[in-house]
Amino acid sequence: MLSKTLMDEIIWPAFQNPILGEFHDGAKLQVTGRIAFTTDSYVVKPLFFPGGNIGKLSICGTVNDLAMTGAIPRYISAGVIIEEGFKGEELKTIVESMRKTADAAGVTIVTGDTKVVGKGQADGIFINTAGIGEIIADFAPKNVRPGMKVIISGAIGDHAAVIMAGRHRLELPPEIVSDCAPLCDLMQKLAAAAPHTAVMRDPTRGGVAAVLNEIATAAEVGIVIDEEALPIHPPVQGVCDILGLDPLYLANEGKLVAFVPKDEAEQALNALKAHELGREAAIIGETIAESAGRVALKTAIGGLRVVDMPMGNLVPRIC
């Protein structure tokens, strides 16, 4: 497909807006106050999966990174590397899902780039997105103190379980799909309900275990979570049992972990449960002054198990 045809027939019809319509080498943006800026690249395999595809994922991932810094996403760029011979209809589906997801998140795709590489050099398609957002809250690990509650916005591990089931030809019930979704509105609802929220994170690569270890180390607190409080869909647990995986280490693409003062935890939980993306939210643990930098799991039989930082590439190419 020729470059101009690619732009005229697929990219521009999906992404057209006044800023992009200037057809300049860069976007001229209007922002006020402090901004957050992030970038990420997406190489997921398979490209299409129950609940989404690489296009939806590329928007959600960058939008969610902005939201977790306490920013409202405003603008996003998209760089697409396409392998020679990639099907035009599949590309249209991907870019259309990018547009729909951007619209849902209230973010505008304002600049981008496409490149076509030789057969076998890109495994179909790779996408890079970068985003800018306006900061409305000061979330940071330094704000975490002992005695705070740890809240998860829903069931963990769905995204990675769907990807792994697809690769290993395991069947999941149709209701188990990737949780891929933009979290910006959920972040704002939670921040309004619990204005002293210390920090939020989306547990993507490395899952909840990685997020908790990172926060425990940065904030110099201990964290104890309750195994029985963890929301996990039984079919996801089943995939983990078959493949020898731990749901705590599985990637999520539409969940957030929040550290909230004890006296704001209930209103925070209620705000999450009132939102379509937070109906399965749960308080899963708390921070403690002892064992700084360590994370422990209180098991169903009452013991404690250390939850280590994930090492190596446990689940490759889930995003």
**What is the per-residue pLDDT across 270-301, written as a single tens digit (0 to 9) for each?**
999 999 999 999 999 999 999 999 999 999 88
The domain boundary residue, chosen from 97, 120, 135: 135
Instruction: Write the pLDDT tens digit of every residue in 124-134.
Output: 999 999 999 99
Same domain, residue pair 119 and 167? no
Same domain, residue pair 293 and 212? yes
Same domain, residue pair 54 and 91? yes
| Cβ(114)–Cβ(5) below 8 Å | no
Q: Which pLDDT score, from 0 to 100, does residue 79 have?
A: 95
On the question of pLDDT at 316 being above 70, the answer is no
Same domain, residue pair 158 and 100? no
Across 3-12, 67-76, 151-160, least confident range: 3-12
Same domain, residue pair 124 and 164? no
Q: In terms of Cα–Cα distance, which of 150, 136, 161, 182 is closest to 268?
A: 150
CATH of the domain at 112: 3.30.1330.10
Q: Which three-class secondary structure state does DSSP give residue 76?
A: strand
Q: Which pLDDT score, from 0 to 100, does residue 313 have?
A: 63
On the question of pLDDT at 2 being above 60, the answer is no
Instruction: Write the pLDDT tens digit of every residue in 97-132.
Output: 999 999 999 999 999 999 999 999 989 999 999 999
Q: Which pLDDT score, from 0 to 100, does residue 229 have?
A: 98
Q: Which pLDDT score, from 0 to 100, does residue 315 have?
A: 63
Cis peptide leading into residue 46 (ω within 30°): yes
On the question of pLDDT at 312 being above 70, the answer is no
The boundaries of the domain holding residue 173 are 141-306
CATH of the domain at 277: 3.90.650.10
> What's the 3-state SS for 84-147?
CCCCHHHHHHHHHHHHHHHHHHCCEEEEEEEEEECCCCCCCEEEEEEEEEEECCCCCHHHCCCC
Same domain, residue pair 127 and 156? no
Instruction: Write the pLDDT tens digit of every residue in 13-66.
Output: 878 788 777 777 788 888 888 999 999 999 999 999 999 999 999 999 999 999
Same domain, residue pair 129 and 32? yes
Q: In terms of Cα–Cα distance, which of 196, 209, 214, 202 is closest to 268?
A: 196
Q: Which pLDDT score, from 0 to 100, does residue 103 have?
A: 96
- pTM, 2 dp: 0.92
The domain boundary residue, chosen from 135, 170, 200: 135
